[in-house]
Amino acid sequence: MPFLAEEHIDIPMTDLLSWMFDEQKYDADKPIYVDAAEPTRSFSSNQARCVIRKLCDGFKSIGLKEGDCVCMLSFNDIYYSMAFLGILSFGGIFAGVNPSHTPYELTHAFRTAEIKALIVEPELLPNALKAAAQAGIPQTHIFVYDHHTPVSQPWNKSDVRDKELGRRNHWSGLKSWRYPMSHGQTDWVRWDNQLQSKSTTAARLFSSGTTGLPKAVEMTHHNFIAQHTMVLEHNPRDYEIIRLLCTPMFHVSNVPRAHTSPLRSGLRTHIMWRFELQSWLQNIERFGITEANMVPPMELIKVRGFQVAPAELEGVLLSHPKISDAAVIGVSAGGASRASETSASLIAMAGEEGSEMPRAYIVLKQGSQLGEKDVQAYMKEKLAGYKQLVGGVRFIDSIPQNASGKILKKDLRDIARKEISARL
């Protein structure tokens, strides 16, 4: 039998920008986006409206048209959302990619999302230019995201970049992203139509690529409006929302809370360049943060039919007074440690069953000394036999992490594979 919804939520059918700006119920001059590292850098709704209208006029003037996709390649900054909304203003489609991508990965992303123009942080230009050449993106459509220069500072011809990047690459006459803001102002593309709201793509956001190379997932104006309406307006919070964003602003999990909700509802949002634990904790107290998003734990290790959560083992390891950081992965029986007869028998059993063995990568606190046997003894006191670190313990200087603080287990698996290959 069908199960019908108990209530219906009315979702506005306007374009995203009109929905965000036309019915604001807060002071349009109050800071909405605040730089967590430099709180005097902030951006209000009125400032955002002005920049968006300038970008709308500028993007049209260089030949971009409705349906064209513009890609951001940058770390977090308070201006990131201005670029996002500026792209939507002329009827364009936003795409964002990971700053750590190689030229090969960027080329795939540019081609998949059918990118027509780029906004790139200066430090990321070498890889971006290589990929743009492969994807057929002209340099006239590549703009330098020099966000350290205030957007209030007008662009002029002396801002054309021709500095050396590394030993071989050059900015080759690229213009600042402030160049499109130098033409004038034009209002954004507007509508109040259900069909247009549900069919007009606002963003192409990349999947994680668990079944191959990442795919570009399309989200419409209606998708973003519906998500905000259901999450924040249908059942309003009973507290003031003050957010801290540290996870990447290109990521699908962050795009709505970073680029649309703050200006719609006047939510003060503090932006961190990237995740760093100590700063993140300090900022929560410093700014009175009431909401912060975090990266969930990803993977499971299968040990002889049992499922072992790396996060559980990592939590136990981090409770040791001499351990500063830790990450646990699963390794094949061939790569496991053979420190004892017991572990040797478990490894043999795992090999027959095709399962994995947990291995820990550990960072010690400064001045501390700890051996593998000490760690194994500590874990034996705390956890069941199938959760033991039969795959071994490795001591390293730091745990590899991405911009949001998520442990890069792939990098650790690559290290493990190299160790196994070296032994063979």
Residue with tokens 């419409």: 220
Q: What is d(CA 18, CA 415) in angstroms, rounded to the nearest whole number?
A: 50
Q: Are residues 288 and 389 in the same domain?
A: no
Query: What integer is the mean pLDDT of 212-235?
Result: 91
Residue range 254-261: mean pLDDT, rounded: 94
Mark whether 408 and 334 lie in a shared domain: yes
pLDDT digits (tens, 9 = 90+) for 53-66: 999 999 999 999 99
Asked if 37 and 163 sit in the same domain, the reply is yes
Strands (E), 230-367: 242-245, 268-271, 291-292, 301-303, 306-308, 323-332, 356-364
Choosing from 238, 264, 292, the residue where a domain stops is 292
Do both 250 and 363 map to the same domain?
no
Q: Evaluate whether residue 6 is within a structural domain.
A: no
Would 374 be classed as within a structural domain? yes
Looking at the structure, do residues 315 and 397 belong to the same domain, yes or no? yes
357-398 residue pLDDT tens: 999 999 999 999 999 999 999 999 888 888 899 999 999 999
Is residue 417 situated within a structural domain?
yes
**Domain assignment of residue 324, yes or no:** yes
Residue 151 pLDDT level (bands cut at 50, 70, 90): very high
Q: Please, what is the end-to-end C-alpha distance for the chain in angstroms?
A: 59
pLDDT interval class at 419 (50, 70, 90): confident
38 and 92 co-located in one domain: yes
Secondary structure in 3-state letters for 334-368: HHCCCCCHHHHHHHHHHHHHCCEEEEEEEEECCCC
**Is the pLDDT assigned to residue 308 strictly greater than 90?**
no
Of 292, 321, 356, the domain-final residue: 292
Is residue 109 within 8 A of residue 214, CB to CB? The reply is yes
- What CATH number does the domain containing 370 carry? 3.30.300.30
Distance CA 408, CA 299 (A): 11
Q: Identify the pLDDT of residue 339.
A: 46
- Residue 207 has a pLDDT of 76
Tell whether 3 is covered by a domain.
Answer: no
What is the mean predicted confidence (pLDDT) over 303-327?
88
Q: Based on the domain organization, do 266 and 323 belong to the same domain?
A: no
337/400 same-domain check:
yes
Dump pLDDT digits (tens) for 176-210.
999 999 989 999 999 999 999 999 999 999 876 54
User: Is the residue at 4 inside a domain?
Assistant: no
CA distance 302 to 304: 6
Question: In the prediction, which pLDDT does 340 show?
Answer: 46
> What span, in angstroms and rounded, lies between the C-alpha atoms of 242 and 286?
12
| Share above pLDDT 70 across residues of the chain, in percent, rounded to a whole number | 88
pLDDT of residue 277: 80
Residue 8 falls inside a structural domain:
no
Q: Give the CATH number, domain containing residue 182.
A: 3.40.50.12780
| 371 and 399 part of one domain | yes
Number of domains in the chain: 2
Q: What are phi and psi of 106, to 5 degrees?
A: -65, -40
209 and 342 co-located in one domain: no
Are 323 and 209 in a shared domain? no
Question: pTM score, two decimals?
Answer: 0.76
pLDDT at 228 over 60: yes
Q: Are residues 252 and 319 in the same domain?
A: no
| pLDDT of residue 227 exceeding 90 | yes
pLDDT band at 352 (very low <50, low <70, confident <90, very high): very low
| Two tokens, residue 356 | 């994995």
pLDDT recorded at residue 344: 53
Question: What residues contact residue 283 under an 8 Å CB cut-off, 6+ apart?
Answer: 36, 244, 270, 272, 289
Q: Does residue 10 sit within a domain?
A: no
Two tokens, residue 394: 């490795």
Asked whether the predicted pLDDT for residue 424 surpasses 70, the reply is no
* Distance from C-alpha of 123 to C-alpha of 348, rounded to nearest angstrom: 49
Q: Which of 141, 177, 174 is nearest to 54 (CA)?
A: 177
Please state, rounded to an integer, the average pLDDT across all residues of the chain.
Answer: 88
Print the domain residue range for 315: 301-423
Q: Which of 273, 292, 311 is the last residue of a domain?
A: 292
